[in-house]
Structure 1
Amino acid sequence: MGISTMALPNGKRVYYLRKQEVPVVYGQVQQYVRNGIELHPGDMLFDVGANIGLFSLWAAEQCQNDLQIYAFEPIPEVFQVLKRNAQLLPQNRMKVFECGLAQASKSVVFDYYPNLTILSTAYSDSWEQTRSTIRQTITTSLANPSDDEPADITLLRRFPSFLRSLLVNFKLNQLLRVKSVRCQMRSLSDIIRDHDVQQIDLLKIDVEGSELDVLLGIELQDWHKIQQIVVEIHNRAQRVDQIATLLKQQGFSKITIEQEPMFQDTEVFNLYAIR
């Protein structure tokens, strides 16, 4: 699988690994800045679970490229694309780190999905839940046609309903072929200390089940540096409540929890927190 380029809806070209992921992810990342979350020129963004960097690139554009970005991606193949996309921004605006964030520095084996890179996870026991989430997302998309839906959904709708289940199973088996990849993890406070970070205006976390691990890697003396958080949460073991409680304890007074329409009836929620 090689690195190629394509144009985003705004006309700018980006590097990618999986072309089908780009329009879906580009539309989704714009949902991070809502419910009072704001970014302004001169701000500092931590993009945790950056994948190929589409959120970072979009956020930089909103701030006239006057945004300092630290972007983290642990999967080596995906990181190579992130590094190329970082070079599309003015020099030194985007620092990229070939690591994930966790409670402490360590080496972790990830389940890497080469055909669906955005779902790669440090939790190998989540395969069945991941499959269920994708299936439900497809079902929801089929029931709610839209002008900007993925081409695969439009094509699937043309088949009789009795064939759709077979086709969905076939597609899921393709998408969820997995490779084991060993990745390096660090704590967020390690990064803050090593790079003398004084303030994080927005901490964005999208890490496929590891979101609480990222937050537990923030030491007590560093919490006040973080002004806003947006995090995609996989609500296993009441994780939405756990994270909301933790953020309230750390001084985030405005917390909004919602579920995107495409994730209706799944475990995936977004949480927005403002200090």
Structure 2
Amino acid sequence: MLSSLRSVAICSRKVKDLTKRLRYTLGLIFLLENWPKVLWRFITRSETEGLFIFRNGLAMRYAQWVEIEEIIGTFVRRDYGKVSKGSVVVDVGASLGSFSLYAAQQGAKVLAYEPATYSFYLLSQNIRVNRLEGKIEPFELGVAGRAGKRTFFLTRFSPLSSFFSRRGDKIAVTCVTLQDIFEENHLKAIDLLKLDCEGAEYEILYRTPADILKKIKEIRLEYHVLPGKRTNQEDLTDFLLRQGFALVHQRRDAPISGILWFKRV
């Protein structure tokens, strides 16, 4: 009996995984003009540069097959949701710029922060190619709990580079805080703060003064569970609830990662 139940559970998971992959594949087909080439690069795990050509006229250079996952997250799954016209958006962990470009196309003004050298190069190229210089301002900076120099680890797959991996090449990056972003850009408010920073989300938010957090209307982030105290989604959620936010959406992608959306109430 138990063996039969396990078999049913395994079969159910496989069906769910297959359904999800099919949905994402169809999403790419509807999204991209050159979807056959992109899917082939994904299947073969190609690590040479490629180009996304979108049906809506957008074009994006990318470096590795793993960045196709980023496109699926932004444009198919809508990990960070929709953006209202006229919004001020801060994109922390902008990578090659998928969310920044999406937000700018929706009419937002975007400040995009990316510390990894080659990812920042792709971000800058993608802004230029799409003539979005007036809507996206890129910064080759990290965002952290404290300003100053910090060791950043460049992993084989660039979207996974972080302050915490302890693997790959080490570079020194200059970091700013959320308070610095407000002050240096003369911001009165941030309509949407997007965070995908491989574990730095905790120190960024925990060390931001309450009067600065009050100026942020929405936070949408990918969380990454780290060893130690208060570096998990439960503690982060409790903290933001105490700061006057409501949790409006959550999705668990793996035991140590997922998506959280918060909105000020």
Question: SS at the partner of 1:180?
Answer: strand
Q: CA deviation at 1:229?
A: 0.5
> Is the CA contact (8 Å cut-off) linking 2:59 and 2:126 kept in structure 1?
no
Q: CA deviation at 1:219?
A: 2.1
TM-score normalised by length of structure 2: 0.73
- Picking from 221, 246, 250, the partner of 1:253 is 246
Q: CA deviation at 1:8?
A: 3.7
Please list the CA deviations of residues 84-133 of structure 1 after superposition, one character each: whole Å capped at 9, or x if unmatched.
Answer: 112224332101111111111121111102x41100010134x6xxxxxx
- Picking from 120, 133, 139, the partner of 1:91 is 133
Unaligned runs of 5+ in 2: 1-46
> Is the CA contact (8 Å cut-off) linking 1:45 and 1:204 kept in structure 2?
yes
Alignment of 1:188-267 (within 5 A): 188-236=178-226, 237=228, 238-260=231-253, 263=254, 266-267=255-256
Evaluate the alpha carbon distance shift between residue 249 and residue 26 of structure 1 in structure 2; reply closer, same or farther with a 3 A threshold: same
The residue that corresponds to 2:23 in the other structure is none
Alignment of 1:23-172 (within 5 A): 23-30=68-75, 31-34=78-81, 38-61=82-105, 63=106, 66-87=107-128, 88-113=130-155, 115-125=156-166
Evaluate the alpha carbon distance shift between residue 14 and residue 219 of structure 1 in structure 2; reply closer, same or farther with a 3 A threshold: same
Determine the C-alpha separation between the residues in 2 that align with 1:193 and 1:212. Answer: 21
The residue that corresponds to 2:7 in the other structure is none
Q: CA deviation at 1:217?
A: 4.1
Determine the C-alpha separation between the residues in 2 that align with 1:47 and 1:182. Answer: 21
Q: CA deviation at 1:24?
A: 1.4
Unaligned runs of 5+ in 1: 128-177
Evaluate the alpha carbon distance shift between residue 98 and residue 249 of structure 1 in structure 2; reply closer, same or farther with a 3 A threshold: same
Please list the CA deviations of residues 126-176 of structure 1 after superposition, one character each: whole Å capped at 9, or x if unmatched.
Answer: x6xxxxxxxxxxxxxxxxxxxxxxxxxxxxxxxxxxxxxxxxxxxxxxxxx
Determine the C-alpha separation between the residues in 2 that align with 1:78 and 1:190. Answer: 22
Question: SS at the partner of 1:271?
Answer: strand
Q: CA deviation at 1:25?
A: 0.8
> Is the CA contact (8 Å cut-off) linking 1:101 and 1:217 kept in structure 2?
no
> Is the CA contact (8 Å cut-off) linking 2:50 and 2:62 kept in structure 1?
yes
Question: SS at the partner of 2:214?
Answer: helix
Q: CA deviation at 1:13?
A: 1.6
Q: State the identity as a percent.
A: 25
Q: Which has the higher contact order (CA 8 A, sep 6+)?
A: 1
Determine the C-alpha separation between the residues in 2 that align with 1:192 and 1:95. Answer: 14
Evaluate the alpha carbon distance shift between residue 2 and residue 256 of structure 1 in structure 2; reply closer, same or farther with a 3 A threshold: closer
Alignment of 1:5-20 (within 5 A): 5-8=51-54, 10-18=56-64, 20=65
Evaluate the alpha carbon distance shift between residue 222 and residue 81 of structure 1 in structure 2; reply closer, same or farther with a 3 A threshold: same
Determine the C-alpha separation between the residues in 1 that align with 2:158 and 2:55. Answer: 21
Count, aligned residues: 212
Question: SS at the partner of 2:95?
Answer: coil
Q: CA deviation at 1:267?
A: 0.6
> Is the CA contact (8 Å cut-off) linking 2:148 and 2:176 kept in structure 1?
yes
Q: CA deviation at 1:71?
A: 0.4
